[in-house]
Amino acid sequence: MGNLAAQHHGIIGPFLVGHFWSLAVEEQFYLLWPLVLWNCRSLTTALRLLVALFFISLGLKIAILIGHWNVPAYYLLPTHMESISAGAFIALANLRWPDFCQRAAKIVLPATLIGLVAAFVVLHGLPDQKLLPITVVFPLAGAGSAALILRAQDVASVWSKVMNWKALRFYGKISYGFYIYHYLLREVLKKYLFIPLHGLIHNRIFAGSIYFVLALAVCTGISAASFYFYESRFLKMKRYFESRPAR
């Protein structure tokens, strides 16, 4: 499967490709969910299914991690459905019950933020592929992200004003490419930027700070070029596709 192949073959030449497993998970969802949604008899059925998937995913993750099969627990679609199902849920629920969704988001968003901060403090960070962080953080992050999207749609909310900052909107626009390139180029940037800087400055913190600014500039430039000259050509094709909610 593409998920595990990307993870096991984590480097091609100087480029890191291990993070492509997440793209495989997304594409698998994009292939399967429209077929499932098409066969749902009603919007309510689809919403109930998404809630079930949220908790099934969490239960599978717990069971697999208890069995010490960390790789399938982390890199496969069935155990990565919390955020995906939460996003699909609000996309459908907001069509019929926008006021209720906003009221729920007002409670869910601060609650999940508090939960994530508490988890970070108690667990001394959020290490990957550990049972407790994964089972706590993934559901919180999924629910919180969904709530943030809803609150950002309310033009009167503080969250909407923050999320409409020009800098955030810009990075949101190029975020797909930024995710791809920042990790893809990590070893290259380290070799040709950080190591020479550290050798020149002999201060890891100072060199690291300069490296961060330079690496950010490089990744931003490449991601912006990718969006405007490559990705945007495919985005124009979305007018040929129509999404129809379940009735």
CB within 8 A of 175, min separation 6: which ones?
A: 223
Residue 156: count of CB within 10 angstroms of its CB: 6
d(CA 244, CA 235): 19
Distances (CA, A) of 29 to 22, 87, 88, 181: 11, 12, 10, 23
Q: Which residue has the tokens 């600014």?
A: 213
What pTM was computed for the model?
Answer: 0.79
Which helix (H) or strand (E) segment is 15 a member of?
Answer: strand 15-16
d(CA 224, CA 246): 36
Distances (CA, A) of 156 to 104, 145, 151: 16, 19, 9
Which pLDDT belongs to residue 246?
47
Structure tokens at 97: 């019950």
Which pLDDT belongs to residue 134?
72
Pairing of strands 15-16, 11-12: antiparallel
Got the DSSP string for 83-107? HHHHHHHHHHHHHH-HHHHHHHHHH
First and final C-alpha spacing in the chain? 34
Which pLDDT belongs to residue 5?
54
Residues with pLDDT less than 70, the chain: 1-10, 69-73, 126-132, 242-247
Which pLDDT belongs to residue 58?
85
